[in-house]
């Protein structure tokens, strides 16, 4: 589907730092709207329904799948996660930029539905650092961390299918890269035309 807004998709193995990067990006750039996914996993400590996720029962999730309400959904680490159509289509149609923070299976489904989507993969600098970030985050039980580390092997093998790769070693440097990717997409001709139609008209270019 062609839309006036940019659709950015950020994927990474759990613990690589995508939520931290997207949160930091948002503090500089209110023009990119992060979509809130639905999930069947339980909320963590401070998470709120409608803020980090819409927490859904299996039956509610089944019903959304049955009603074709998702742009994409996938089983990730034993739970289901999905991006609702309702959450993103209106914004994209209005010309707003939307960012999805999802796993690689969902990212590849999004590319099928929105071929112009920009797919960004975040890598940790090493396996040791990935484990240490998951452990230090202190949110997941040891068996959950083991499962996420195991799944990271398959996830990282997908990196070549993405348009951009960011290595999140130094946080500020990774954030700079993410901002640069987003900015470069906005500088493309079509986006400029949309955002600065006043300039294009005054120069008789439109
Ligand atoms: N560059 C970095 N250096 C050191 N620690 C980092 C860096 N980036 C993120 N972290 C830390 O690593 C932990 C995992 O980060 P975060 O929760 O953002 O990962 P994630 O990829 O969103 O994981 P998940 O997919 O499980 O939500 C957090 O404690 C975060 O503060
Ligand atoms: N395919 C999708 N994956 C999603 C979505 N929302 C989040 N995720 C991914 O799930 C894992 C685990 O997240 P966590 O919050 O439980 O740590 C992570 O890779 C997310 O990116 C979604 O809507 N679709």
CATH number at 188 reads 3.40.50.300
Of 177 and 190, more confident:
177
Phi, psi of 10 (to 5 degrees): -110, 120
Mutate-to-test residue for ligand 2 from 9, 51, 76, highest number of ligand atoms within 8 A of CB: 76
Residue 83 lies in a domain: no
Residue 76 lies in a domain: no
Tokens at 4, concatenated: 């006036």
Q: Whose structure tokens read 């790769």?
A: 165
Q: Indicate whether residue 74 lines ligand 2 (CB < 6 A).
A: yes
Domain that holds residue 147: 7-35+96-202
Residue 171 lies in a domain: yes
User: What is the strand order of the sheet 79-84 is part of?
Assistant: 53-55, 37-39, 79-84, 70-76
| 14 assigned to a ligand binding site | yes
pLDDT band at 9, cuts 50/70/90? Answer: very high
| pLDDT score recorded for residue 2 | 57
Residue 198 lies in a domain: yes
**Which ligand sits closest to the CA of 122?**
1
Per-residue pLDDT tens digits for 104-159: 999 999 999 999 999 999 999 999 999 999 999 998 899 999 999 999 999 999 99
Residue 53 lies in a domain: no
Task: Record the pTM.
Answer: 0.92
Q: How far is residue 48 from each of residues 89, 136, 141, 153, measured CA to CA in Å?
A: 23, 21, 20, 30
Residue 191 lies in a domain: yes
**Which ligand sits closest to the CA of 175?**
1
Distance 179 CA to ligand 2 centre (A): 21
Residue 24 lies in a domain: yes
Provide the number of structural domains found in the chain. 1
């Amino acid at each position: 589907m062609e839309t006036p807004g940019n659709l950015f998709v950020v994927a990474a193995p759990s613990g690589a730092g995508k939520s931290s990067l997207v949160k930091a990006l948002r503090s500089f750039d209110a023009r990119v709207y992060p979509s809130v996914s639905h999930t069947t996993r339980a909320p963590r400590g401070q998470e709120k329904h409608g803020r980090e996720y819409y927490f859904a029962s299996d039956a509610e999730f089944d019903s959304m799948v049955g009603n074709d309400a998702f742009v994409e959904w996938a089983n990730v680490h034993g739970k289901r996660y999905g991006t609702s159509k309702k959450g993103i289509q209106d914004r994209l149609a209005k010309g707003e930029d939307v960012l999805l923070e999802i796993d690689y299976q969902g990212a590849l489904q999004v590319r099928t539905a929105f071929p112009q989507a920009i797919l960004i993969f975040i890598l940790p600098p090493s396996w040791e650092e990935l484990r240490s970030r998951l452990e230090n985050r202190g949110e997941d039980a040891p068996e959950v961390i083991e499962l996420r580390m195991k799944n990271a092997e398959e996830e990282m093998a997908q990196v070549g299918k993405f348009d951009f790769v960011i290595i999140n070693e130094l946080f500020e440097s990774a954030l700079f890269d993410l901002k640069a990717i987003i900015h470069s997409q906005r500088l493309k001709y079509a986006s400029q035309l949309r955002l600065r139609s006043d300039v294009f008209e005054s120069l008789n270019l439109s």
